[in-house]
Amino acid sequence: MPRISRIKGEFSTYHIIMRGNERKKIFLSDDDKERFIYTLKRMKDKYNYIVEAYCLMDNHVHLLINDNGNDISKIMKSINVSYVNYFNRKNKRTGHLFQDRFRSELIDNDNYLLAVSAYIHKNPVKAGIVKMPEKYKWSSYNYYIGNDKEKDNFVENERVLSLFSNQKKTASIDYRNYVLQFEPMYKILDIEEDMFLYLKENNTEYIDSFETAQRLVQRELELKGKTFEEMSKDKEFRLELLKKLRKNSNLSLKEIGQICGGVSQSMVCKLLKQ
């Protein structure tokens, strides 16, 4: 089957995902993560691209990159080849390290730019590695909120922060609040696969469909001795179900609301934030 050409544009921003082959780890130590960051910096000097955000997980990487008029495929190939050569040499191995080609999507508006940056920075929290994104060392989040001014000074966060305020300190505070409250309202590239991997790695029951979620809610109702109609009156119980479905599935907020008694999408979002 022929490969489909990537959608590219001049001076475009991309959300990029690089995964380990067969979902295996691409980082075995902190030194490996340091090397990948060094590779990002070195290739940035070569191609003059802009790194707007990143997060390194053990078996995958999320990047927010503006190609600055360069070919994104050449950029990613250079990063890939350089890091793989290092990794294979260090671990005395051969063969592919990354899964097929990198995956990418164009960022075409400011709202989506904000959402993707928050999604990237909240990856470690979704994975259950940390409770707060600033506790994770291997992302650009701390640079965004002003906690790390040296390690990630190659990251250019001005465009994202300027969407909140022209005053950097104020913008950093507002961005932190935005990320902490962030719940994706629409599908972000690969969010389903990320959730699947996180939940599997943390031995959590993954709810793989609308029907499975319905069965789970019915089981919970039976255990509580409640009817479906009584669920909407018990706000604490309903909130518990909302949180469980949000944590363990990739269902949309609209679908979660439908399963939990016809709650509107906006209300589900409001309740989850509380």
Q: What's the pLDDT at 81?
A: 92
- 138 domain-assigned: yes
- Single pTM value for the model: 0.68
- How many Cβ atoms sit within 10 Å of the Cβ of residue 29? 10
The structural domain count of the chain equals: 2
Mean pLDDT, to the nearest integer, of 217-232? 81
- 5 domain-assigned: no
Does 158 lie in the same domain as 45?
yes
**Cα gap 159→166, rounded to integer Å:** 10
Write out the residue range of the structural domain in which residue 251 sits.
Answer: 206-273
Does 210 lie in the same domain as 189?
no
pLDDT in tens, 254-271: 888 888 888 888 788 778
End-to-end CA separation in angstroms for the chain: 48
**Cα gap 99→121, rounded to integer Å:** 22
Mean pLDDT, to the nearest integer, of 32-42? 96
CATH number for the domain including 96?
A: 3.30.70.1290
